[in-house]
Amino acid sequence: MSDRTVTSLTNPTVKAVRALHLRKERDETGLFVAEGLKIVTEAIETGHAPAILMYGAEATTHPLLRQAMAATRAGGGEVIEVTQEILAKVSRRDNPQAVVGVFHQVFMPLEALAPSAAPCFVALHRVRDPGNLGTIVRTADAAGCGAVILVGECCDPFSVEAVRATMGSVFAVPIVRATEEAFAAWRARWPGSVIGTLLTATMAHHQATYAKPALVFMGNEQQGLTPEMAALCDVNVKIPMRGRADSLNLSVATGVMIYAATA
The number of domains in the chain is 2
pLDDT tens-place string over residues 208-223: 999 999 999 999 998 8
134 and 52 in a common domain: no
132 and 84 in a common domain: no
20 and 63 in a common domain: yes
- Domain closes at, from 57, 89, 104: 104
Name the pTM for this structure: 0.94
Average pLDDT across the chain, whole number: 95
- Domain closes at, from 73, 104, 135: 104
122 and 223 in a common domain: yes
pLDDT tens-place string over residues 83-141: 999 999 998 887 888 999 999 999 999 999 999 999 999 999 999 999 999 999 999 99
Domain range spanning residue 158?
Answer: 110-261
First to last CA, the chain: 50
pLDDT for residue 129: 97
18 and 53 in a common domain: yes
pLDDT for residue 2: 64
* CA angle in degrees (0–180, nearest 5) for 139-250-230: 105
Directed axis angle between helix 130-142 and helix 250-261, to 10°? 20
pLDDT for residue 200: 86
pLDDT tens-place string over residues 227-240: 999 999 999 999 99
**Looking at residues 248-262, what average pLDDT do you find?**
96
- Domain closes at, from 104, 136, 152: 104
Q: What is the CATH number of the domain that holds 41?
A: 3.30.1330.30
69 and 182 in a common domain: no
220 closest CA partner among 151, 121, 157: 151
For residue 138, what are the CA distances in angstroms to 22, 134, 176?
A: 23, 6, 15
